[in-house]
Structure 1
Amino acid sequence: MPLPPWRGHGPAQVPRRQRTARAVSERAVLDTGRSLRAGTIGDSSLRPDGMAKVQGTFAFSSDEQLDGAVFGATLRSPHPSARIVSIDVSKAWQISGVEAVLTADDVPGSATYGLATADQPVFASDVVRYVGEPVAVVAADHPETAGRALAAIVVEYEVLEPLLDPEDAIRGNHDDIHPDGNILRHQRIVCGDADATGDVVVEGTYELGMQDQAFLGLEAALAIPDDGGGGVELHVATQWLHEDRRQIAACLAIDESNVRLVLGGVGGAFGAREDISLQVHTCLLALRLARPVRMHYSRRESFLGHVHRHPASIWMRHHATSEGELVKVEARYVFDGGAYASTSGPVLINGITHAQGPYRCPNAVVEGWATRTNNLPCGAMRGFGVVQACFAHESQMDRLAAACGLQPLEIRERNAIRTGDRLITGQVLESVAPVVECIAELDALALPDEPVGGHDGHPLRLPGGAGRTTDARHVVRGIGWGVSMKNLMYSEGFDDHATARCRLADGTATLKFATSEVGQGFVVIAGQIARTVLGVDTVELEQIDTEIGSAGSTSASRQTWMSGGAVDSACRKVRERLFEHVAAQHGLDPVQLGIDGTDVVDTVGTLRLPVAEVTRGQV
């Protein structure tokens, strides 16, 4: 099986006692015609996994295999809301090749899990709350056998009236689908004068449907039990290794130290891999059978098995002066969180706190609800609540521009937020806020040339390329744009940290971190930081797993800052020891030393030693 280039030998290749983290060296190619060495900060570097992905040899999590592994599969509810009267698994056990059939009664630890709130059952027991909720899992010697076993399980349901409209949840028009009620989060923001009005008033209601991340690499996992140790090793594509481990350990009733997660090759994430999908099921089967278990979702099952972007209804009213300057924004948000909490609360808060958009607005009255329904669970998806807000406030700005007799760019530039302005939450914007500059650059962009007489019909010059089925005569070009702002790092002041380790020996820096590489390129950034700080050409990346402290989630555009900062800090500490070592040998003060290219130098120019030479042995 081909390996992702930064990963070491996984369990599918060698027995556990022989496993080592075999990192693959990525030697930078020096370009003497440039001021920067190739592979340092500021340089355009080849990804260590790039060629494998282009050549089709990169191992995604669905490619992981192990001799002797059995295949897991999930039985899911066909109803959005129903009581489970009975589950009969006897016929499934009669099928040759079936190794295990598990239901809620077989969960040894916590019956529920969740990223923020542990409200989602490992298996539904008394009721099901959405179409696709897991009811049982099976393991068999072949995927087809597992499928027959699922079909043989008989579940008797008492179908209930589902709660499908979040407005019914707010108004109390439906029985509670959870003991704590149907409202996940309710928040109100009042800023400035709640009664302020403007000369010009526009309002609108904006409906946004559910969206799916639809990553190409479907959910897949390989779980391998310890040899009699009661622990388990899980290879899985995820955005947050340590958070997965925490939830898995709780459900299995074992210590977190007995659960090791190894990052599988990730074929896209976009928020959907922040939550548990098949992780607990795969590990539960592996421990029950004391043998490796593979699980792999189909595309249809993937749509049912992970969280989605929240459907939303947003009403907004904007007040402005006759010159188009914003006076007040009013807004009402309703987010449909679906059957379980996931991150619906923080997503709602992110949405309402960005109601003003990237514009100055002294007054605001904003209220929002995130509700439970019997729809599919919703959680993180790229933008985390801000996408819904952006659609509403940008539509409003276009309406306001028309009402004020201004051009859309003009009204945005007139109200653009700047450094030092105050947000509707009371936060003063201390960082750079180049909104005006962005709008000016947007205005200066030349529109794409349109062929005289329309399209020439060449398929590669039209949307869809060779796969387009629409007649060329019906294809027209539309130019659209919008302006938005989005928080970096976690929302609501959530604690944020990351961990990294660095070793330096024989001119090679070896890095270790638990940062999920989901395609965003952190494996490149980490190498660039190490080469720049330590003056090395070769950087090796150890296997990404939970054998080091948490790096947090690969989400919220945070990993370059957080894990990149951890790598930078670790490399700087190693550099301090390197300078102390050189200074002691040459009678110098460490503060006189620095890195120039791949050499250690002193400030007066009397010393120049290659880093590779002075690091014979580990630093």
Structure 2
Amino acid sequence: MAGNNAPLGTPTKVTQGSQTKGGIGESTLRPDGTLKVTGEFAYSSDMWHEDMLWGQILRSPVAHAEIVSIDTSEALAQAGVYAVMTYDDLPTDVRHYGLEFPDTPVLARGRVRHHGEPVAIVAADHPETARRAAAKIKVEYRELPVVTDESTATAPDAPLIHENRTDHYAAHVTHPNILHRQPIIRGDVEEARSRADFIVTGEYTFGMQDQAFLGPESGLAVPAEDGGVDLYIATQWLHSDLRQIAPVLGLPEEKVRMTLSGVGGAFGGREDLSMQIHACLLALRTGKPVKIVYNRFESFFGHVHRHPAKLFYEHGATKDGKLTHLKARIVLDGGAYASASPAVVGNAASLGAGPYVIDDVDIEALALYTNNPPCGAMRGFGAVQACFAYEAQMDKLADKVGMDRVEFRRLNAMEQGTIMPTGQPVDSPAPVAELLRRVKAMPLPPERQWESSEGADVRQLPGGLSNTTHGEGVVRGVGYAVGIKNVGFSEGFDDYSTARVRMEVVGGEPVATVHTAMAEVGQGGVTVHAQIARTELGVTQVTIQPADTQVGSAGSTSASRQTYVTGGAVKNACELVRERVLEIGRRKFGTYHPAWATAELLLEVGKVVTDGGEVLADLVDVLEDESVEVEEEWRHRPTEPFDRHTGQGFGHVQYSFAAHRAVVEVDTELGLVKVIELACAQDVGKALNPLSVVGQIQGGTTQGLGMAVMEEILVDPKTAKVRNPSFTDYLIPTILDTPTMPVDVLELADAHAPYGLRGVGEAPTLSSTPAVLAAIRNATGLELNRTPVRPEHLTGM
């Protein structure tokens, strides 16, 4: 009996400290961490095949135009070019795709609807050859009027972005350019308004944000001998991609084999297809592997962005500070194609009241079709835009009532048992008041940190190393915000994940292998899955198989759902493996000791033990010449669609909450802002990997900071062309912009979730932006109803 010299029938006690190392609750390190920080990690853009071609996409230079003609002859004649394809060269009648319904053409036909839309694709033996050939394709456009906002989209004579719509939202909107509309109505707002002692209104503008991920879109398609194709790709959802790709290629799904390659960040921007179909088409046309890598300029056109929004809010409160009602209208710009806009509308509407008790609510959220760039999923989608508006409203109301802004929020904070505006009860911990208390209680950073005996440290001042000020005209401000975000897919979506777990003896040691299709985009699932296997199976060695479509779907790495859903699937599969291992043990060793039949047996530190800690057998002996493998789906509790007219329904599976306090210093003369600190308190249910949890909170907070003071895709309102598709003009926070970020993690278990966990990654993105804006308002006294804040908004220039 390996590892135990006692006879099989002799129980022994497991010594203290023998719990499996690296299990749930420990800050285990990422297996890919060292490779990433040293630059050795292989991303999808690093893939290579010895005889591969390079693909290039020709994109529309205008936002809305009729395609009069396309001439590819000069491109085809260029040496080194193997193929040029347009819409007419597609192999099947299925020529559109889409996340929810197929409204996006693989290549434009007859009309382009946004700046940068793909028109033709080229394969050549060198990337520069492909680029030059694409530039030789002659396309004649006849420009059409552009639709850029609600007034131009819904005017009686507005051009229709999509004529003859047949999607399931078309019959429920008042204009074809309204993609989707969702009201949320509860109580009687008109009657409640009459009881309000104070009423505040606000009109808010939220800019278009880019995911700005590290690795641009890229992938490698390799034609196979069976007529199929192998695609190595950076994505967020392998099986969703597969569902959209295979019909366009005219192949059964089993002949489109997809493997996840290194993903350099995602944040929602990889939920939609980019170059997947184009690479596969060119590979099948040429019979050679085809690699496509976007440059940074092209990446701005190659994926969806966060929806810009106009938000109109009215709140009322009594003189005692109790909220009476909310009336809101949220208009989201979805751009030229649907993407995830319907779900974004559902989130904005259902979470538009924030984490507060408001009995009388009338919210309308809608998304428009326009000629602006397509918008879809981005971290915290829908809830982010709403949080910016309702938190500004809370500050206004608190000031009207004459209350402290944090105490006003705490007075109205929801808790477990609160009924949401959708009629859904909050049936797990909702510690909103406690999070606000905790974040307010954190020590404030010292005043005037830039001062030293040797003079001002300009790095600590607004403007930083530009050396614009030495402290003259710099004032401090402090602001607070709190937000609510749903976890997982909602509104009746069949949200599930699949995990395959195998347990066997390798090299004289029990080893577990976990195989899922989960896209590891930086969130840390590869670490958590190993922790779950160690905890449930009592092994030290865990192998995480590469994600691919040879195992069932894991759903999307989005909506803060992967640890909940795929982690739940891994846990479930491990539990089934464990039971089968014990069945083998009972068959082999049960006659030696009655505990095999009578006790609750556990797998712990490579051994089978009783619940009292008695060792019955080593796992090596149990699994000698045998192995166990289970593939299992796991679903969370079901949700239901919101009623189309009232918005009532059990729409969300779980809620997450975070609160922020921002401390800023503002040069009021130059309009420069330095965020000194962004403190956060967040309930995570159970921190499966505490280090990873803090990293997610700080990462989400940083993206919220970017939205507050620098990040915005600028679109010309007259032409709908993107004006700043580069990191020269689209600014993101660097390490010098990132403030101190103390984090207070609260763990109040959700009984409905595996291990009691709660999705972590999105909630901090909500409240960080309005907290920064609140702090800037506190410093300057300005209203500031748009984000991001620019210097001219602070100086009046």
User: Same fold per TM (> 0.5)?
Assistant: yes
> Is 1:182–2:177 an aligned residue pair?
yes
- Matched residues in 2 for 1:408 and 1:208: separation? 23
CA 1:511/1:476 → structure 2, altered by over 3 Å: closer, same or farther?
Answer: farther
Could you tell me which residue of structure 2 aligns to residue 112 of structure 1? Answer: 96
Shift of 1:53: 0.9
Shift of 1:278: 0.6
**Does the aligned pair in 1 maintain the 2:211–2:378 contact within 8 Å?**
yes
SS at match of 1:485: strand
- Residue of structure 2 aligned with 1:220, choices 196, 218, 221: 218
Could you tell me which residue of structure 1 aligns to residue 571 of structure 2? Answer: 568
Could you tell me which residue of structure 1 aligns to residue 45 of structure 2? Answer: 62
CA 1:190/1:295 → structure 2, altered by over 3 Å: closer, same or farther?
Answer: same
- Matched residues in 2 for 1:580 and 1:519: separation? 37
- Matched residues in 1 for 2:200 and 2:354: separation? 16
- Matched residues in 2 for 1:469 and 1:311: separation? 33
CA 1:604/1:39 → structure 2, altered by over 3 Å: closer, same or farther?
Answer: closer
- Matched residues in 2 for 1:171 and 1:592: separation? 69
- Residue of structure 2 aligned with 1:291, choices 283, 288, 291: 288
The percent identity for this pair of structures is: 50
SS at match of 1:314: strand
Could you tell me which residue of structure 1 aligns to residue 369 of structure 2? Answer: 372
Could you tell me which residue of structure 2 aligns to residue 318 of structure 1? Answer: 315
RMSD: 1.9
- Matched residues in 1 for 2:201 and 2:246: separation? 49
**Does the aligned pair in 2 maintain the 1:92–1:98 contact within 8 Å?**
yes
The more displaced of 606-615 and 119-128 is 606-615
Instruction: Output one character per residue of 1:565-604: Cα deviation in whole Å (capped at 9) or x when no partner.
Output: 1111111111101111112222221753113333211246
SS at match of 2:332: strand
CA 1:41/1:258 → structure 2, altered by over 3 Å: closer, same or farther?
Answer: same
CA 1:387/1:34 → structure 2, altered by over 3 Å: closer, same or farther?
Answer: farther
SS at match of 2:244: helix
- Matched residues in 2 for 1:35 and 1:445: separation? 37
Could you tell me which residue of structure 2 aligns to residue 496 of structure 1? Answer: 495
AA of the residue aligned to 1:385? G
AA of the residue aligned to 2:75? A
SS at match of 1:368: strand
Shift of 1:609: 2.6
SS at match of 2:528: helix
> Is 1:166–2:165 an aligned residue pair?
no
- Matched residues in 2 for 1:250 and 1:153: separation? 27
SS at match of 2:109: coil
SS at match of 1:352: helix
The more displaced of 491-500 and 306-315 is 491-500
CA 1:289/1:582 → structure 2, altered by over 3 Å: closer, same or farther?
Answer: same
Shift of 1:167: 3.0
- Residue of structure 2 aligned with 1:238, choices 235, 238, 247: 235
SS at match of 1:254: coil
- Matched residues in 2 for 1:459 and 1:589: separation? 72
| Structure 1 segment 130-529 matched on structure 2, within 5 A | 130-179=114-163, 180=165, 181-195=176-190, 196-197=192-193, 198-227=196-225, 229-451=226-448, 454=451, 457-458=456-457, 461=460, 471=469, 473=471, 478-506=477-505, 507-529=510-532
The more displaced of 455-464 and 99-108 is 455-464
- Matched residues in 2 for 1:235 and 1:376: separation? 27
- Matched residues in 2 for 1:153 and 1:360: separation? 59
Instruction: Output one character per residue of 1:62-117: Cα deviation in whole Å (capped at 9) or x when no partner.
Output: 00111100000000001110000000000001110011100001112311100012
AA of the residue aligned to 2:206? L
AA of the residue aligned to 2:600? Q
Could you tell me which residue of structure 2 aligns to residue 27 of structure 1? Answer: none
AA of the residue aligned to 1:105? D
Could you tell me which residue of structure 1 aligns to residue 54 of structure 2? Answer: 71
AA of the residue aligned to 1:504? M
**Does the aligned pair in 1 maintain the 2:22–2:531 contact within 8 Å?**
yes
- Matched residues in 1 for 2:468 and 2:305: separation? 29
TM-score, length basis structure 1: 0.91
CA 1:317/1:615 → structure 2, altered by over 3 Å: closer, same or farther?
Answer: same
- Matched residues in 1 for 2:598 and 2:105: separation? 57
> Is 1:534–2:537 an aligned residue pair?
yes
Shift of 1:473: 3.9
Could you tell me which residue of structure 2 aligns to residue 11 of structure 1? Answer: none
- Matched residues in 2 for 1:113 and 1:470: separation? 50
AA of the residue aligned to 2:617? L
CA 1:424/1:473 → structure 2, altered by over 3 Å: closer, same or farther?
Answer: same
Could you tell me which residue of structure 1 aligns to residue 676 of structure 2? Answer: none
Instruction: Output one character per residue of 1:170-218: Cα deviation in whole Å (capped at 9) or x when no partner.
Output: 3444121111221101222211013121111000000011110010111
SS at match of 1:274: coil
Could you tell me which residue of structure 2 aligns to residue 25 of structure 1? Answer: none
SS at match of 2:602: strand
SS at match of 1:554: coil
Could you tell me which residue of structure 2 aligns to residue 598 of structure 1? Answer: 606
Aligned length: 586
CA 1:453/1:84 → structure 2, altered by over 3 Å: closer, same or farther?
Answer: closer
Could you tell me which residue of structure 2 aligns to residue 24 of structure 1? Answer: none
SS at match of 2:327: strand
- Matched residues in 1 for 2:515 and 2:133: separation? 42
> Is 1:544–2:547 an aligned residue pair?
yes
- Matched residues in 2 for 1:276 and 1:500: separation? 24
- Matched residues in 2 for 1:208 and 1:388: separation? 6
- Matched residues in 1 for 2:442 and 2:158: separation? 52
Shift of 1:253: 1.3
Shift of 1:564: 0.4
Shift of 1:348: 1.1
CA 1:590/1:298 → structure 2, altered by over 3 Å: closer, same or farther?
Answer: farther
**Does the aligned pair in 1 maintain the 2:52–2:290 contact within 8 Å?**
yes
TM-score, length basis structure 2: 0.71
**Does the aligned pair in 1 maintain the 2:588–2:622 contact within 8 Å?**
no
Instruction: Output one character per residue of 1:146-186: Cα deviation in whole Å (capped at 9) or x when no partner.
Output: 11101110000111111111232234441211112211012
- Matched residues in 2 for 1:377 and 1:546: separation? 27
Which runs of 5 or more structure 2 residues have no equivalent in the other structure?
1-14, 166-175, 591-595, 629-797
- Matched residues in 2 for 1:428 and 1:596: separation? 39
- Matched residues in 1 for 2:239 and 2:184: separation? 34
CA 1:460/1:438 → structure 2, altered by over 3 Å: closer, same or farther?
Answer: same
Could you tell me which residue of structure 2 aligns to residue 616 of structure 1? Answer: 624
CA 1:452/1:575 → structure 2, altered by over 3 Å: closer, same or farther?
Answer: closer
- Matched residues in 2 for 1:594 and 1:510: separation? 19
Which runs of 5 or more structure 1 residues have no equivalent in the other structure?
1-31
Instruction: Output one character per residue of 1:407-440: Cα deviation in whole Å (capped at 9) or x when no partner.
Output: 1101100000011111111111111101111011
AA of the residue aligned to 2:149? D
